Amino acid sequence: MEFTNTCPICQSKVRITRYHCDSCQTTIEGSFALPVDPFSRLSEEQRHFMLTFVRAEGRLNRMEEILGMSYPTLKNRLNELITTLGFQAELYSKKPNAAERQAILDDLEAGRIDSDQALRYLQGDEPFITGE
C-alpha cells in the first residue's frame, strides 16, 4: 500500500500516530508526518512526460518527434510540470543576437529546422542552442 498525506476516503490531511516494525516488534506511538514527495503531485500523464523529457535529454525538438506534439504544446506541458512540482516556470523571451540570427537562418537553409521553428527562435519564443 502506498501512503500519502491525504485520507483515501475523504482526501483530508492525515496524521500518522503509530509505527510498527514486524521484524523486532517495536512499536512507536506519537505524531508523525510523512515527508512530502513532490513527484506524488504529478498525474500519470505528467510522469510520462517527465520520463520522456529525460529520455530526450531535455530537448523539446526530440520530444516533438517522440510524442508527435508541437513545440508550443510541449512547452505548455513542461511549464505545467514545473508548476506542479512547486517551482515557478521562467518565461523565455530573449531575442537572438546577430550571430545567432545568422545561425538560425543557416540551419533553416540547410533543412536542420523548419520555418516554424526558425520563426520561434527569431522571435525569442524558444531559446536557440547551436548544435542541436
pTM score over 0.75:
no
Domain ranges of the chain: 39-84, 93-132
List the chain pLDDT tens, one digit each, 132 residues: 556 677 888 888 888 888 889 999 999 998 877 677 788 889 999 999 999 999 999 998 899 999 999 988 998 899 899 888 888 766 555 778 888 889 999 999 999 888 988 888 888 777 777 654
- Asked if 70 contacts 79 with a C-beta cutoff of 8 angstroms, the reply is no
Q: How many CB atoms sit inside 10 A of residue 49's CB?
A: 20
5 to 39, 87, 105: CA distances (angstroms):
13, 20, 52
- Asked if 13 contacts 6 with a C-beta cutoff of 8 angstroms, the reply is yes
C-alpha atoms less than 13 angstroms from C-alpha of 41 in its C-beta half-sphere: 12
